[in-house]
Structure 1
Amino acid sequence: MRIDWWTIGLQTVNVLVLVWILSRFLFRPIAGIVAARQAETAKLMESARAARAAADREREAAAAERGRIAASRSDQLKSAAAEGDREKTAILAAARAEAEKLRSEAEAEIAKSRKAADAEAEKRASRLAVDIAGKLLARLPREAQVTPFVDGLAEALSKLPPASRASLDEPGAILVKAPRALDAAETAALGDALGRALGRKPDIRIETDAALIAGLELEAPHAIVRNSLRADLDRIAGALTGTGAGHAG
Structure 2
Amino acid sequence: MTIDWWTIGLQTINAAVLIWLLARFLFRPVAKVIAERQAVTEADVQAAEADRTAARADREAAAAVLDKVAEERTALLAEARAEAERTRVSLAETARADMDRERQRARADMDRERAELTGQMADEAGILATEIATRLLTRLPPDVLVSGFIDGLARSIAALPDPIRAEIGRDGPVPLRAARALTGPEQDQLTRQLTEVLGHPVGLVITPDPSLIAGLELTTDHAIARNHLAADLDRIKSELTAHD
Q: TM-score when scaled to structure 1?
A: 0.80
SS at match of 1:217: strand
Bigger Cα displacement from structure 2, 182-191 vs 192-201: 182-191
- Which letter maps to 1:69? V
Structure 2 contact 119–243 (Cα < 8 Å) conserved? no
Counterpart Cα distance in 2 of 1:200 and 1:88: 89
Q: 1:36 to 1:163 in 2, by over 3 A?
A: farther
Counterpart Cα distance in 1 of 2:163 and 2:60: 110
SS at match of 1:177: strand
Counterpart Cα distance in 2 of 1:28 and 1:170: 168
Match in the other structure for 1:247? none
Counterpart Cα distance in 2 of 1:57 and 1:162: 119
After superposition, residues 106-121 of structure 1 pair within 5 angstroms as 106-121=106-121
Q: 1:96 to 1:170 in 2, by over 3 A?
A: farther
Counterpart Cα distance in 1 of 2:199 and 2:208: 26
Counterpart Cα distance in 2 of 1:17 and 1:222: 172
Match in the other structure for 2:189? 189
Q: 1:243 to 1:55 in 2, by over 3 A?
A: closer
Q: Show CA shifts across 1:65-123 (max 9, x none).
A: 23433443344344334433433343344334323432333233223323322332233
SS at match of 1:225: strand
In the TM superposition, what is the alpha-carbon distance from 1:41 to its structure 2 partner?
Answer: 0.9
Count of residues in correspondence between the two structures: 243
Counterpart Cα distance in 1 of 2:205 and 2:81: 93
Q: TM-score when scaled to structure 2?
A: 0.82
Q: Show CA shifts across 1:36-65 (max 9, x none).
A: 321221111111111122123223322332
In the TM superposition, what is the alpha-carbon distance from 1:229 to its structure 2 partner?
Answer: 1.4
Structure 2 contact 166–198 (Cα < 8 Å) conserved? no
After superposition, residues 175-186 of structure 1 pair within 5 angstroms as 175-186=175-186
After superposition, residues 1-249 of structure 1 pair within 5 angstroms as 1=2, 3-4=4-5, 8-9=8-9, 12=12, 15-16=15-16, 18-162=18-162, 164-165=164-165, 168=168, 171-242=171-242
- Which letter maps to 2:192? D
Bigger Cα displacement from structure 2, 223-232 vs 129-138: 129-138
Identity of aligned pairs, percent? 42
Bigger Cα displacement from structure 2, 81-90 vs 150-159: 81-90
Q: 1:203 to 1:192 in 2, by over 3 A?
A: same
Q: CA RMSD of the aligned region, Å? A: 2.9
Bigger Cα displacement from structure 2, 225-234 vs 27-36: 27-36
Counterpart Cα distance in 2 of 1:243 and 1:137: 27
Structure 1 contact 217–224 (Cα < 8 Å) conserved? yes
Structure 1 contact 167–223 (Cα < 8 Å) conserved? no
Q: 1:243 to 1:107 in 2, by over 3 A?
A: closer
Structure 2, unpaired ranges of 5+: none
In the TM superposition, what is the alpha-carbon distance from 1:14 to its structure 2 partner?
Answer: 5.5
Q: Show CA shifts across 1:191-246 (max 9, x none).
A: 222222222222322222211111111222342222111122222222222269xx
Structure 1 contact 167–221 (Cα < 8 Å) conserved? no
- Which letter maps to 1:4? W
Q: 1:243 to 1:143 in 2, by over 3 A?
A: farther
